[in-house]
């Protein structure tokens, strides 16, 4: 439901990447520190999902002196709202510098409030809100029904780096985010140079804050354990559809407009009962399809609009919200909700279970649930460990023809490296197929309800931890409610990808 602001904003975005919303609702998570939320919700293996945080950090110091937050409060309007409005000294009009760096939505249960303030410090809303941005064509402005807004101010927090929950690395007492460190600063420049060279130039990547050599070394070892399976999955897909591009169009459907993406996301959130808990950011500046991060304490789902397809979008939402978000929320209630607790209870790393489970949920109800993306990521990482950038680009051409898509996969596999003429990889993208196959191997013995309810735990720890866990009022996604149907679709994934139990038992 849209409400008009004081000025025309239909073609502008409402919040830019430096802004944030902290949601205050019945399931309140806003009382938690942003550090705890970052640990839980940031899904680092998914993408360059430090996009929002890196922009936020760059702008913070330049804006901290020039920006301020104004409070704006009111009561319900009566028949003559103007009479009471002027008498309330608390009602102040927020100044509204608006930029167009992206589109932000906050999907809420209650009547909408149109946010027109763009400030560097976060604003905490005392009531549920709805935020809409660019990409929406509004009808002529109505002359009546003046709307009032409820605002309250919060002190400006210090900016924090988002980091991957599964790592928890600590260097010299500082939280370290490897995905921030391995994001090249000259990506577009090197892409242009690479394409101009007719794919013969090996990019030389630069980094603002390079990762420590020891950290890169830890993530530079590629595995060939499931290489045969990854190749077979992709070949099966090509046998049926001819090319990846045809597979994408036939099974993914058409690309969605921002308005339709918003509609699908809202519908899914209503289905899961989490409407109003997550800010949604639409962008084209993301290497993956989506990512779940925390921006100044608020769970934020970033969606790449250039890859949002009609029949794949709900799978992405099952991945990001139904898996990452719900397991993160449930983890807050458990004795192992901190690194001290994880160490005390001797928990295994939550990956590859976390990303494997999320990746299964991405394809769960597809007509042809080919594990194409996980397979290609696994294969590309292994080949990157053996090849230069140019060689890798040429090699994956056997599976993907589109040069831009190939570039994206090669960058993912080579990120963190400066001289890409040398063999070397960033190996974390192998976690998807690794996790999928491990879960499928033990699918008949895994309690998937508990695996979600226990939070960020490995499937290997479920039986040992269930006696210690808090299981009341845990959040379980709707698609896990029908266990029989869920298991049937796991069998279909096995069948379509020609995976056998004997094969998986031999491998795992």
CA 221 to chain centre: 25
Catalytic-residue membership of 320: yes
Do residues 88 and 190 make contact, with C-beta atoms less than 8 angstroms apart? no
Do residues 24 and 143 make contact, with C-beta atoms less than 8 angstroms apart? no
Query: Directed axis angle between helix 431-441 and helix 372-384, to 10°?
Result: 130
SS3 annotation, 93-160: CCCCCCCCCCEEEECCCCCCCCCCCCCCCCEECCCCCCECCCCCCCCCCCCCCCCCCCCECCCCCCCC
- From residue 269, give the alpha-carbon distance in Å to each of 111, 125, 472: 16, 20, 21
Distance CA 306, CA 38 (A): 26
Do residues 355 and 459 make contact, with C-beta atoms less than 8 angstroms apart? no
Is residue 61 classed exposed, middle or buried when 0-12, 13-18 and 19+ CB atoms within 10 A define those classes?
exposed
Task: State the maximum Cα–Cα separation within the chain, in Å, rounded to a whole number.
Answer: 78
Do residues 120 and 49 make contact, with C-beta atoms less than 8 angstroms apart? no
Q: Please give the structure tokens belonging to residue 462.
A: 């479920």
Do residues 453 and 247 make contact, with C-beta atoms less than 8 angstroms apart? no
Q: Which letter does DSSP use for residue 291 in this model?
A: E
* DSSP track, 19-69: --EE---TT--TTS-HHHHHHHH--GGGSSTTHHHHHHHHHHHHHTTT---
Omega before 130 within 30 of 0, i.e. cis = no
Do residues 266 and 275 make contact, with C-beta atoms less than 8 angstroms apart? yes
Give the active site residue among 18, 320, 354, 355.
Answer: 320
- Nearest-Å Rg of the Cα atoms of the chain is 23
3-state secondary structure of 235: helix
* DSSP track, 11-33: TS-S--TT--EE---TT--TTS-
Give the residue numbers annotated as catalytic, written as ranges: 320
């Amino acid at each position: 439901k849209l409400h008009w602001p004081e000025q025309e904003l239909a073609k502008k975005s409402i919040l830019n990447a430096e802004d944030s919303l902290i949601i205050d609702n019945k399931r309140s998570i806003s009382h938690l520190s942003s550090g705890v939320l970052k640990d839980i919700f940031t899904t680092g293996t998914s993408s360059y999902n430090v996009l929002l945080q890196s922009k936020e950090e760059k702008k913070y110091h330049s804006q901290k002196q020039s920006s301020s937050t104004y409070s704006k409060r009111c009561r319900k309007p009566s028949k003559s709202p103007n009479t009471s409005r002027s008498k309330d000294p608390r009602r102040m009009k927020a100044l509204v510098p608006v930029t167009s760096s992206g589109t932000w939505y906050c999907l809420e249960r209650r009547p909408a409030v149109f946010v027109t303030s763009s400030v560097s410090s976060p604003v905490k809303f005392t009531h549920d809100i709805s935020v809409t941005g660019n990409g929406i064509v509004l009808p002529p402005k109505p002359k009546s029904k003046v709307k009032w807004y409820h605002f309250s101010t919060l002190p400006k927090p210090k900016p924090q780096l988002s980091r991957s929950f599964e790592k928890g690395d600590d260097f010299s007492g500082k939280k370290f985010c490897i995905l921030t460190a391995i994001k090249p600063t000259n990506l577009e420049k090197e892409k242009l140079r690479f394409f101009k060279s007719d794919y013969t130039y090996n990019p030389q990547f630069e980094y603002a804050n390079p990762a420590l050599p020891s950290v890169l070394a830890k993530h530079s070892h590629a595995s060939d354990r499931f290489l045969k399976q990854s190749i077979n999955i992709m070949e099966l897909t090509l046998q049926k559809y001819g090319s990846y591009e045809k597979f994408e169009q036939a099974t993914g459907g058409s690309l969605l407009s921002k308005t339709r993406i918003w509609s699908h996301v809202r519908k899914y959130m209503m289905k899961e009962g989490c409407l109003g808990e997550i800010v949604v950011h639409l962008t084209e500046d993301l290497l993956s399809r989506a990512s779940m991060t925390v921006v100044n304490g608020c769970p934020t789902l970033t969606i790449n609009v250039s890859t949002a397809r009609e029949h794949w979008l709900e799978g992405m939402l099952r991945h990001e919200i139904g898996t990452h978000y719900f397991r993160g929320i449930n983890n807050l209630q458990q004795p192992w909700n901190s690194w001290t607790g994880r160490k005390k209870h001797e928990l295994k790393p939550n990956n590859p279970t976390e990303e494997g489970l999320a990746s299964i949920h991405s394809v769960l109800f597809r007509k042809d649930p080919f594990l194409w993306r996980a397979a290609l990521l696994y294969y590309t990482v292994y080949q990157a460990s053996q090849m230069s950038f140019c060689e890798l680009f040429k090699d994956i051409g056997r599976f993907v023809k589109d040069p831009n898509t190939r570039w994206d996969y090669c960058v993912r596999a080579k990120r963190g490296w400066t001289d890409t003429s040398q063999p070397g990889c960033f190996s974390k993208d192998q976690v998807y197929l690794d996790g999928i196959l491990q879960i499928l191997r033990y699918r008949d013995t895994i309690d998937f309800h508990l695996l979600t309810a226990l939070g960020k735990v490995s499937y290997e720890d479920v039986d040992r931890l269930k006696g210690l866990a808090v299981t009341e009022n845990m959040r379980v996604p709707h698609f896990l409610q029908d266990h029989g149907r869920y298991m049937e679709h796991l069998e279909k994934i096995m069948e379509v990808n020609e995976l056998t139990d004997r094969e998986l038992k031999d491998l795992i």
